Amino acid sequence: MLQAHARPMYTDVSNSTFPLVLCGNLQDALTALKEREVIDHEIGAGWLEINCVSIDPCTQKSSNEDAIFGMPLPALAGVLLSGNSSALRLPRSAAANLESGQAPLRAENIGSIEFARVPEGLRLQACAPDFDLFRRQGRLACNDDTIVVINANDNTRACPGTLPYSLLDCVKTVQFDASVETLELRPPTQKMHFGQATWEEACATELVLPDIVRAICESLAQYTLSIPQPADFGTTSLIMYDFLEGYGCHKTSDLKESWEVLSRSAAPNRIVTCPQVANGTQQRSDPYTCATVCDPGFVLETTESGDSCVSVCHGMLSSCQ
């Protein structure tokens, strides 16, 4: 079996950008992930994203390189990209072409793109081509009946994202005719949907849990999974990606006001305004954190609902001045 390299957590050694990852072999990926224990559900070399290519949304370059100059191939945002281009060729397709004697510059895909890992802040559209239009005019366009859109905002389990997620959440189908199985939360004493442990065992406090796993364990009451099942005959080979509104490749130098912070250090990210606080202000304490500064005569009170500024006389006798 031809193997593909795992896609890393970031697209660069400076850990500044999360990639958009496009893959084939959905069923193989699901089988591999369901065998992993929850403590192993971290992105990176430990998870073999089988037969994948990635795009850096900031440089708009593919992880595939030009066969002659060894430079990353362009994969521009906001335009329709074909899975039959060298920029989006999947490793198994490229290897199959080499075995068949085709020139490396013409790395046609075998099969279609089946799933994607989409980081928070991106919108991905995938579709099958309008083959009749291509036959008549030689022009690539989506068949409107096959369009799938993934909006990875902060209310979804994007990957990586704000909400807790397992690696199974990172498998987003791009096939319009794929089916989806929803797996409801199981009781803590029952085996999880992946691995061999129960929720109770997996979330045991004596384990040194990765941050992702700890977040999952702290939100079990809301945690369910939607697992895609691949279509019998894949035809999805066109994609287009772009940033959602407000998201981009922002750096700390982009923060112009003292009440602005970045939603996270790695792109895609947002510039966020610190929330207003009665009888005080919230200002940036570091590029990613807002801190409350209370007005004279008020002191900071922190509760589960957030920070507030209360009078120094709060809870005291009426004679307090």
Mean pLDDT of all residues belonging to the chain: 83
DSSP state of 299: E
Q: Which residues contact 286 (CB under 8 A, 6 or more apart)?
A: 261
The model's pTM = 0.83
- Confidence at 204, pLDDT banded by 50, 70, 90: confident
CB 263 within 8 A of CB 174: no
- Confidence at 320, pLDDT banded by 50, 70, 90: low
Q: pLDDT digits over 104-146, tens only?
A: 443 333 458 999 999 999 999 999 999 899 889 988 899 999 9
Q: Where are the domains of the chain?
A: 20-248, 274-311
Q: Write out the H or E segment, with its range, that includes residue 137.
A: helix 131-137
Distance of CA 140 to the CA centre of its chain: 27
Helices (H), 147-204: 199-202
- What is the residue whose two structure tokens read 């991905």? 124
- Would the pLDDT of 221 be above 70? no
What value does the mean pLDDT take over residues 12-19? Answer: 91
Q: pLDDT digits over 43-54, tens only?
A: 765 666 778 999
Q: How far apart are CA 218 and CA 91, in angstroms?
A: 38
| E strands, 83-121, in order | 115-117
Instruction: Of 95, 105, 96, give the one whose Cα is nearest residue 67.
Output: 105
